[in-house]
Each structure stands twice: as C-alpha cells, then as structure tokens.
A and B are shown apart, each in its own frame.
Chain A
C-alpha cells in the first residue's frame, strides 16, 4: 500500500505532469513538422503519382496506425493485417507500426494524446459531435486532396462522408456504415412458441414476457458500457417522435427534452425493463460479454448495430440467427427508419511528420478495404460500394437478410453521443443506465436531460 499511496497521490499529479511535459514536446514538434510538411510538399509535386509512393531518397518512414481491431478471431483484424503487410511489401521503405487497442482504451488514449497534440499519424474517431472537438482543435489534416486521388471519393456511399465533414473539408474516412437492427435467435423463438417477429412494440413486450416465462433471457445487453442501452432507447425515441430529427430539433431550439415524444420513449423503455427484458445485473455486464449472451445462444434477441453480423456468423448461433427492424411504438414511426451508425473512421494527424506518406498509405488502405472485407465475408455494413454478389460469394442468410434491410433504409438518426456534446451525452448515458436498476418518473428523466443540455450548451 506504500506504493499504492504514492501512486495514488501522484495519479492526478503525474497525469498532470505528463500533460505538461507532453505539451512542451508538442510545441516543439509543431515547429518541426511545419518544416517537414513543407519539404514533403516538394516531394509530392515531384512525384504526383501517389497510390504508390516512390520515396527516391529511400529513407525509412514509420507510420503509426492506431486502430481498434484487437481480436485476431475477427475478420477486421485479418483485413487490417493483410492490407498492411501488402503495403509494406510493395513499399519497402515504409513501416506501418500498429497501435492496437480496444474501443474504450483507444478513446481515452487519443484524448490524452490530443491534450498534448501528439496524436498518431493515423487514428480512429467517431463521427459528427464526437469528432468535433478534435477538428476544432485543428488536430486532423483535411483529406480532400487525398480523396480525389485514384477515385477514392466515389467509392463511398453518397452522403456518408458528410458525417465526417466540417466547413467543406473531410477529416476522416469511415470503416463502415451500419444500422441498428434486432437480431433474434430463431430456435429460442420457436421454443417459446413465438411464430412471427414482433411488428409493434406491444407485440415485442408480449414476446418478452413469453420468453421470460420460459426462462429465456429475452434481450441481451451489456449495460456497463452505457452506450448500449442508449442505442436501444434512441430507437424507441425515433419511433415515438414519428421520425428522425428529435435531437437536432432540440439543438436548434425547436423542441426540448420535456417534449411528450421523449417522455413517452422513457416510459416505453421502462416497460421493457419492468417486463424483465434484460439479463439480471445488466449494468455490470460489459458490452462484449453482453453480446456473448446472445452469441452463445442464451438470449433470444439482441438490439445492436449491423456491424455484429460477421461476428454472429462466426459464433455458435450461426445459422440460427435472423434479424428484423425495430417495431413501431404506439402506432408511431416507420420501421424503415433506422438508427444510423456511420462507422469509426480513420483520421490523419495534422502534425504528422510524414503527412504525404501517411495520406498515400491511407489512400491505398481505404481503396482496398471494401474488396478485402468482401473476401473475408465481412462486407455487410461497409460504407463503400463493392462489386460482387453476396449470395454467390457464399454469405450467410443472415448477411443477406441484413443487406436487404439496408435497401429499405428511408432515413434515421445518429446515436445520442454522436449528436450531442460529450458532457450532455454523459448525463444522458447514466440517466438511461439508471432506468435499468430503478423505476423513475419519466418526467423527471426528461427534466434531467433538459437541465444538462442547457448547462452544457
């Protein structure tokens, strides 16, 4: 405990010290990299043929690539490593150093790195409101020029890059574009005697009760990572609001959180909790473990982004899983409006010492990503156009089912933390987490949101 004491007294102190010392380094780096980018600019004009960098000088260049694909069992991991290996082989003077973390670790690491302007050459950010503070701090390089090379821009679905654009500049390139769906386990549905997927929220509630009575966990969730509950809640709000745009209206001052649509959404969400829809102790289960409840066949449904399709196909419920749209709530909302989840995105540090080389690599990487993902059977929910027929390529029924849902998308909303600023989002997240453990007056929940929103405007 001596060391604990020391450690703890200086936890705050040390972290502050780190920030301080890194800030000092950051400044000097700024100046250096300015000179560096200028000279890079020259080499770029000498060798306009990007795609394949010919660094005549032959000097070794190391590009740091912070990424969130840590699990070797997943297709994304293989995609990353195969593309990086290929690029290093074709460009022997370039070394790509991978800084691999899981999502939450990466968020915090990037945040601390950003405080000292020391972010890696390539990093991962989330769209819209979540990346705005970084863009405002001028940490990312605009990628417009790089998007025009090799026709990269045209590979992206129209409108997708808007979520990553500020003042006409694109700052990050997404690894996917997903929607929120309800995965369900056909076998467990049969066991409980449920013939059809629910079309209305009341049917969903009924199914939840039926499943619960049979001793089956109705809906898997890992609410220790509070975004999961919020993601589900927002889908209800998307319905009770009769369509997308609720949060935008709040931001524009046209509505407040005390709007009936919001209160109704809270009420309906509590109905789910009261019906026993979620596993016991949901708030201590982390997101991965929550997903595993479904993937190991112990829960009947899982309300999550379509990015899980590949992982479900690789799990023990492969072949038994189907997917459907989130039902309408109290007769409101169109099931073909989805919670949209434009993916995590690759951004380049504005202070990168090898800005041009990094851009060239990312150009190669994102150009080849769709085909590689397709090859690895992970092409459902990628944000770029890809040639090829899923069925012909041996994709599962679930994957084809999901890609069918994609074709029905009429519109939708972004997640709460992608729309609202981080401080408001945190209040929202813990407020929703609270609904899992106790019954709360929904008007109070709405008021809490509104207060937080006004305080953090």
Chain B
C-alpha cells in the first residue's frame, strides 16, 4: 500500500462503500445463518428454541443423507478440477497449431452463455430412455451397443455421474478460455530464446509454459472447486436430488431441509458447514499453489 503513496484515509473512503455492501450482504448474513443453525425453527413461527449444537450433532451423526451428499459434492469438485489440465493441454495445442484460435475458443464457450435451466432440460432429453426418444440411448442402440443403454439420470448408481458429465461439458469452454488467454499472454520472445537454446515443443512447455501459467491455473482450479461445491441449479433442474436422494448434493440437501421439510434451523446448519468447507478448501488450495509458484520461480 505504501507504494501508492496515498493517505490511508483516502484508501478508506474508496474502499468503504464496497466494504459496507460486502459486510451487509455477505458477511452479516453468514453470521446470522450460523446463529440460525443453532435454533430449532421452522422458518415461519415466532417460536425459536435455542438448541445449541443439536442441529450439527444431527447432521454429523444421524442424518443418512448428509455424508453421502458431502461425498457427491466433493467428487463433483474433484471431477471439475481434473478437467482443468485437459483445458490447459487444449489451450496449448490451440495456441500452437491453430492460426485463428479465437473462433474455436468462442465456439467451445457457447454452452457457458446458455442458462443452466436450458442446459438441464437439453441434457434431460438427451439422457431420456429410448421409449421417450432419448438421443444418447438411441445412438448407442444404432451402434449395436444395446447393453450400454441406461436410464442415465434415474438409476441411482449412475445418475450422479451423468450430472457430472453435463457440468464438465458446460464448463470446458470456460476454463479453456481462461487457460488460452493465459497461454497467449506468455511472451513469444521466451519461446524464441528457448528455441535457440534447444528447447522446443514439449520441453518448452515444461520449462516455460507450466511455470508461467501456474497463477492462471490456480484461478481455474479455485473457481472450478468452489463452483462445484455449491452446485445447485443443474441438479435441481435435472433430478431435484432424486431418485430418493441419490443425486443430492450439499446445497440441494440444504434447500430441501429448509424449504420442504420446514427445518430452517437445520438447513442453516448445513449452510454453515458449506461456508466452512468452502473457506477451508480455498485456503488450502491457495497455500498449495503459493508453494508451487515459489518452487518454480
């Protein structure tokens, strides 16, 4: 801050409006929902009984839906992180071999600008059983792979994976765009210099692209991770957590508890857990990447 040579007071004045908004709209409500998580409350009546940690106890030890939904959420997050290296690879290839990569990147980006509700409905009809005109199953059958057909989003064992696939498909272009921009921002001189020194192709990627792309890579990873921890819309549109909680993630479980089961206090407890989970993971991802950056620079 000292570099700017601006009095602290000026900084405060400029920061204040945003800070106030942030505190009122984000920070305070989080605290309130922590408090609500301690109550037995249906969200409507004025009788709120203070229950201490009863909701959390119930959540951790007695709720058969909670841990499976945490597991699915984390898997969601891992799946979307695993996607990022592929996006990076794609970006490198595009940058190297395609002269006007921008057009292709824009095309890959299209699903991102579509509303999740539309995406959900679209994929629902793709996943439909053949008797209802489902495209995926239709294609499988015409390829002679009848035994591969499934009721993709209603068979409890595979439904969640069908949802992951949609998410990965939708956000591929998004992360590709980020990585592509990152790759393009690496100055050409570096590669030219490396070429003279005998580093070309994969070698150049290993010693130039990777170290320089790490900050961009981190952004993608954090966004993908946090985004999928809070996955809600797509699940709601496609399965609403069904059949029988088989596709419930933390946020849909929270929604169902607060608004359908009228357990507002319990829902808030789940929300608090989600907030903490996000904080912990964001912090640890940051630490890991800071170490990585140091190691490579």
Contact = CB atoms under 8 A, between A and B. Distances in A.
Interface stretch (B36-44, B181-189, B191-199): B36-44
Determine the interface band of chain B, counting residues with CB < 8 A from chain A.
Answer: 35 or more
Interface string A48-60: 0000000000000
A12 B243 contact: no
Contact of A13 (B25, B171, B261): B25
Given A8-B226, A8-B230, A9-B230, A437 B155 contact: yes
Nearest to B223: A1
B230 A283 contact: no
Contact of A20 (B32, B131, B227, B263): B32
Interface in A261-287: 279-284
Interface in B148-189: 151, 153-156, 171, 174
Given A12-B274, A14-B25, A108 B259 contact: yes
Interface string A84-121: 00000000000000000000000010011011000000
A14 B254 CA distance: 15
Interface stretch (B100-108, B200-208, B209-217, B244-252): B244-252
B124 A423 contact: no
A16 interface: yes
A13 B30 contact: yes
A1 B29 contact: no
Given A1-B171, A422-B260, A423-B262, A16 B226 contact: no
A134 B262 CA distance: 11
A403 interface: no
Interface string B113-143: 0000000000010011111100000000000
A436 to B, nearest CB: 6
A37 interface: no
B254 A12 contact: yes
Interface stretch (A192-200, A384-392, A426-434): A426-434
Main secondary structure of the interface of B (DSSP, over half): helix
Determine the interface band of chain A, counting residues with CB < 8 A from chain B.
Answer: 35 or more
Contacts of B190: none
B244 A11 contact: no
A142 to B, nearest CB: 18
Contact of A16 (B33, B46, B256): B33
A10 interface: yes
A280 B30 CA distance: 42
A139 B44 contact: yes
B43 A426 contact: no
Interface of B: 24-30, 32-33, 36, 42-46, 124, 127-132, 151, 153-156, 171, 174, 223-224, 226-227, 229-230, 232, 238-240, 242-246, 251, 254, 256, 259-264, 268, 271, 274-275, 278
11 contacts: A1-B223, A8-B251, A13-B25, A13-B275, A16-B29, A16-B30, A112-B259, A133-B42, A133-B262, A437-B155, A437-B244
Interface of A: 1-2, 4-5, 8-17, 19-20, 108, 111-112, 114-115, 133-134, 136-137, 139, 217, 223-224, 226, 279-284, 421-423, 425-426, 430-431, 433-434, 436-438
